[in-house]
């Protein structure tokens, strides 16, 4: 009889440990995904402030401003330099445009800058602004993967690289005869 009681107690303990492990691992996994793999929604005004702060940290004197934007089809075009623009696609335009939620950003630049890679410092800032938990090494990896045009799809005079998904971002590169762009989608 004592042997049966010990077996029943052991089985009950194992069941409790199993359920506890399941719920603990589920909670840890959910926390990891929420903290590392998904970027949080951000208003366009906050995005611009964060972008400008990251420019300052990199000792870059340019600055984005929402005031001089051209808005077309839920996309705001922000001029950064003469040859580089930042495009921001929002979920929906709010009455106060600064409250619109950012969904996709892009760095568009004159294709003549491809050889000098002058655009790259701004691209790094843009990626960092979209997910500030990324290290410099991870940002370099994202740029390298998105720049890989070996499997690019051709549509008319446009080539687009496959999208590289990493920590809540989807990044690809588009090349046309005049302009190139890196697009960064922010996944919910």
Q: Write the DSSP assignment of 92-141 as a string of letters.
A: S--SSGGGPBEEEEEEEEEGGGGTTTTTHHHHHHHHHHH-TT--HHHHHH
Q: How far apart are CA 34 and CA 148, in angstroms?
A: 29
Q: How far apart are CA 4 and CA 71, in angstroms?
A: 75
More confident residue, 69 or 117: 117
- Over residues 15-57, the pLDDT tens digits come to 877 777 777 777 776 776 566 556 788 999 999 999 999 999 9
Is the per-residue pLDDT at 73 higher than 90?
no
Q: How many C-beta atoms lie closer than 10 Å to residue 99's C-beta? A: 13
Report the pLDDT value the prediction gives residue 11, as an integer from 0 to 100: 77
- Over residues 75-107, the pLDDT tens digits come to 888 888 888 999 999 987 777 888 888 999 999
Report the pLDDT value the prediction gives residue 68, as an integer from 0 to 100: 63
Element (H, E) at 51: helix 44-57
Report the pLDDT value the prediction gives residue 35, as an integer from 0 to 100: 62
* For residues 61-69, average pLDDT: 81
Which residues share a beta bridge with 107?
86, 182
- Over residues 151-183, the pLDDT tens digits come to 767 777 788 888 888 888 889 888 888 888 999
Q: How far apart are CA 5 and CA 176, in angstroms?
A: 76
Query: How many residues can be counted in the chain?
Result: 188
* For residues 6-11, average pLDDT: 78
Q: How far apart are CA 67 and CA 78, in angstroms?
A: 9
Q: How far apart are CA 121 and CA 84, in angstroms?
A: 11
Helices vs. strands in the chain: H and E counts, helices first? 4, 9
Strand 164-166 with 153-155, pairing: unpaired
Report the pLDDT value the prediction gives residue 53, as an integer from 0 to 100: 95
- On the CB side of 11, CA atoms within 13 Å amount to 6
Is the per-residue pLDDT at 136 higher than 60?
yes
More confident residue, 24 or 139: 139
Question: Which range among 4-18, 70-84, 114-128, 138-152 has the greatest average pLDDT?
Answer: 114-128
More confident residue, 40 or 108: 108
Given a contact cutoff of 8 angstroms between Cβ atoms, the answer to whether 142 and 169 are in contact is: yes
Report the pLDDT value the prediction gives residue 47, as an integer from 0 to 100: 94
Tokens of 104: 């996709």
Report the pLDDT value the prediction gives residue 137, as an integer from 0 to 100: 94
């Amino acid at each position: 009889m004592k042997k049966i009681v010990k077996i029943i107690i052991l089985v009950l303990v194992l069941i409790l440990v199993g359920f506890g492990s399941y719920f603990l691992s589920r909670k840890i996994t959910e926390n990891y995904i929420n903290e590392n793999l998904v970027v949080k929604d951000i208003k366009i005004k906050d995005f611009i402030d964060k972008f400008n702060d990251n420019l300052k940290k990199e000792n870059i004197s340019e600055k984005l401003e929402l005031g001089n934007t051209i808005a077309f089809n839920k996309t705001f075009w922000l001029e950064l330099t003469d040859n580089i623009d930042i495009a921001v696609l929002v979920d929906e335009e709010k009455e106060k445009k600064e409250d619109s939620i950012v969904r996709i950003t892009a760095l568009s630049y004159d294709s003549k800058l491809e050889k000098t890679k002058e655009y790259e410092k701004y691209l790094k800032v843009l990626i960092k602004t979209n997910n500030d938990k990324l290290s410099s090494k991870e940002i370099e990896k994202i740029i390298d993967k998105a720049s890989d045009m070996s499997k690019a799809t051709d549509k008319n005079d446009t080539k687009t690289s496959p999208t590289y998904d990493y920590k809540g971002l989807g990044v690809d590169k588009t090349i046309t005869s005049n302009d190139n762009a890196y697009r960064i989608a922010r996944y919910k």
